[in-house]
Amino acid sequence: MQYVRLACLAVALLMGGCRLPGWEGPVSRSLADCRRLSQQGMVALDRGEQEKAETLLAQAVNACPVDAEARRRYAEALWRRGAQKEALAQLEAAGRVTPDDATLWTRMAEMQLAAGELAPAGLSAQRALDLDPKLPGAWAVQAGVCRAAGKRQEALADYLRALGYTPGDRAMLREVAELYREMNQPERALQTLQNLAETYSPGEEPADCLYLTGLAYVALGRYDDGVESFSAAVTRGTPTAEMYCQLGQAQLLAGHPVEAACAARQALVLDSTHRASRDLLDRIELAQRPQGTVR
């Protein structure tokens, strides 16, 4: 019965002009149309023409429903718009066409993890690893699932496994540094962040890297180094109240209360409700008030 169904599917697709994956012979008109529309859709997507891209990619899928690449591209377009369920549905359909494509299952796992579907993400990542145990992206998803479940040690092991296959991956280095910080291992966090910084040209390290480095320095009691890192962080990109607050905390610990108060005030300019900055400013003002003075 299964053989009959497959034979009927093959005949139907051939009559429609499409070609099954792996089918020998010349490219059919419908498959050629599918690939042309798919390519045009990706060009439109790269240009930021979201609606046009989706229209073209939907037409590509309709032209040849068993073309997995067209479905993958359509899924990416849908995902970019925020249509998560529709994007995953396209990847699932592509997975039924090419069930042995490890990179497809990895991308599905990444989307599922981003959508908060932890159990499906873990299953998809494991399926990818069964097909190719050296895929860093699949190991990273496994790590993300573990981290979301509060299993930090397991998450760390999976991230380190992923880094073994792609040593300079910035996103993974950052995640490892964050895990070390959460696990109260500031020395290892600092070492990882220094490795991350080395992937950038001097002076081009992003603010979040400098900020995390400052946190590691402060945790190690290296307050002046922390001040230097936080000071650099607030000059990169768009600083936040929390960045200025941490700069102020480090300056106070380093024995610079005047500079600390300035940083706290700057944080409150950015966010007047930032409680930690208000508390920091109150502590500084209280310490500077002569003894016996009533506020």
Q: To 5 degrees, how large is the angle CA 119–CA 109–CA 76?
A: 135
Query: Are the beta carbons of 198 and 209 closer than 8 angstroms?
Result: no
Residue 203 identity: G
pLDDT tens per residue, range 176-216: 999 999 999 999 999 999 999 999 999 999 999 999 999 99
Domain match, 159 and 260 both: no
Domain match, 137 and 245 both: no
pLDDT tens per residue, range 267-289: 999 999 999 999 999 999 888 77
Residue 50 located in a structural domain: no
Instruction: Point out the domain boundary residue: 167, 189, 209.
Output: 167
Positive or negative: CA dihedral 131, 136, 142, 144: negative
Average pLDDT, the chain: 89
Higher pLDDT pick, 41 / 259? 259
* Segments forming the whole domain that contains residue 235: 170-288
Residue 22 located in a structural domain: no
Residue 195 located in a structural domain: yes
Residue 163 located in a structural domain: yes
pLDDT tens per residue, range 216-252: 999 999 999 999 999 999 999 899 999 999 999 999 9
Does 23 score more than 60 pLDDT? no
- Residues with Cβ < 8 Å from 40, sequence gap 6 or more? 56
pLDDT tens per residue, range 92-146: 999 999 999 999 999 999 999 999 999 999 999 999 999 999 999 999 999 999 9
Residue 11 located in a structural domain: no
pLDDT of res. 24: 45
Domain match, 271 and 247 both: yes
Domain match, 281 and 205 both: yes
Domain match, 249 and 191 both: yes
Q: Which of 97, 27, 85, 26 is closest to 61 using CA atoms?
A: 97
pLDDT of res. 292: 52
Residue 13 located in a structural domain: no
The phi and psi torsions of 19 (rounded to 5 degrees) equal -125, 135
Residue 218, both tokens? 């402060």
Domain match, 134 and 197 both: no
Domain match, 205 and 107 both: no
Instruction: Point out the domain boundary residue: 147, 167, 187.
Output: 167
| CA 35/CA 26 separation, integer angstroms | 14
Residue 47 located in a structural domain: no
Domain match, 180 and 255 both: yes
CATH number at residue 123: 1.25.40.10
pLDDT of res. 156: 97
Write the secondary structure of 201-221 as one string of H (helix), E (strand) and C (coil).
CCCCCCHHHHHHHHHHHHHCC
Residue 223, both tokens? 């307050």
Domain match, 158 and 188 both: no
pLDDT of res. 33: 83
Domain match, 114 and 207 both: no
Helix (H) and strand (E) counts for the chain? 16, 0
Count of domains for the chain: 2
Domain match, 157 and 264 both: no
Residue 265 located in a structural domain: yes
